[in-house]
């Protein structure tokens, strides 16, 4: 994809995501800053903040678990390289603890693919599997939404015992919901 394609996809994705009732009614949204070839999320994060939504962003811990901090705009992000992994943009503010995600009304998840059942394929580090398990243990039931390109919605992906289905996937062409 060209840089223009990526920008257009990010704008379309943000537009569709902002129309979701789950985000329209949310007071707190746990999200992430896209990296590499992932669909861009900054426009969406800024639009949510402009609506008065509290946006929590992850901070990767040494054991691949996630802590959380509030997003205070693009200038509040710092580039952090974790070992040999790619550099991530993380919020510089106060750490709220791994349990903070349990207060989110919606959780926007990264992924490599989602299948027709709503099963999500991540990057293999287990960070978001831990988040989903933590939410389940806490009895929290936020909307779980994955942001992907259209070609990343597939018929079927491998599933493991710890995998949990998501409620929806947002792509540049629209929203796909799972039951």
Say which CATH number the domain at 77 has.
3.40.50.10420
Instruction: With respect to residue 9, please indicate whether it lies within any of the assigned structural domains.
Output: yes
Instruction: With respect to residue 176, please indicate whether it lies within any of the assigned structural domains.
Output: no
Rounded to an integer, what distance in angstroms lies between the CA atom of residue 123 and that of residue 38?
Answer: 11
Instruction: With respect to residue 179, please indicate whether it lies within any of the assigned structural domains.
Output: no
Q: What is the DSSP letter of 165?
A: B
Q: What are the binding residues?
A: 33, 38, 120-128
The answer to whether residues 80 and 52 touch, using CB atoms and an 8 Å cutoff, is no
Instruction: With respect to residue 123, please indicate whether it lies within any of the assigned structural domains.
Output: yes
User: Which residues pair with residue 168 across a beta bridge?
Assistant: 145, 177
Rounded to an integer, what distance in angstroms lies between the CA atom of residue 136 and that of residue 129?
Answer: 11
Six-digit token string for 135: 């939410």
Task: List the domain range (segments joined by +) for residue 117.
Answer: 3-148
Question: Number of structural domains, the chain?
Answer: 1
Q: What are the binding residues for substrate?
A: 33, 38
- Mode of pairing for the β-strands spanning 143-147 and 168-171: parallel
Instruction: With respect to residue 175, please indicate whether it lies within any of the assigned structural domains.
Output: no
pLDDT of residue 82: 83
Instruction: With respect to residue 169, please indicate whether it lies within any of the assigned structural domains.
Output: no
List, for the chain, all residue ranges whose pLDDT scores fall below the cut of 70: 85
Rounded to an integer, what distance in angstroms lies between the CA atom of residue 55 and that of residue 14?
Answer: 14
Instruction: With respect to residue 60, please indicate whether it lies within any of the assigned structural domains.
Output: yes
Q: What are the binding residues for ATP?
A: 120-128
Instruction: With respect to residue 67, please indicate whether it lies within any of the assigned structural domains.
Output: yes
> SS3 for 90?
strand
| H runs (alpha helix) in the chain | 3-18, 21-24, 42-50, 127-138
């Amino acid at each position: 994809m060209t840089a223009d394609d990526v920008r257009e996809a990010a704008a379309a994705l943000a537009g569709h995501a902002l129309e979701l009732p789950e985000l329209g009614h949310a007071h707190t949204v746990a999200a992430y800053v896209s990296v590499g070839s992932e669909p861009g999320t900054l426009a969406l994060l800024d639009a949510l903040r402009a609506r008065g939504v509290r946006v929590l962003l992850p901070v990767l811990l040494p054991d691949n678990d996630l802590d959380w901090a509030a997003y205070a705009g693009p200038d509040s992000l710092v580039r952090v390289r974790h070992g040999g992994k790619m550099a991530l943009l993380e919020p510089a503010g106060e750490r709220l603890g791994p349990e903070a995600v349990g207060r989110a009304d919606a959780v926007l998840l990264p992924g490599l693919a989602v299948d027709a059942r709503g099963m999500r394929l991540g990057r293999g580090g287990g960070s978001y599997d831990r988040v989903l398990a933590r939410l389940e243990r806490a009895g929290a039931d936020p909307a779980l939404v994955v942001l992907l390109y259209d070609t990343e919605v597939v018929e079927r992906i491998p599933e493991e015992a710890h995998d949990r289905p998501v409620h929806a996937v947002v792509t540049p062409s629209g929203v796909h919901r799972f039951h």
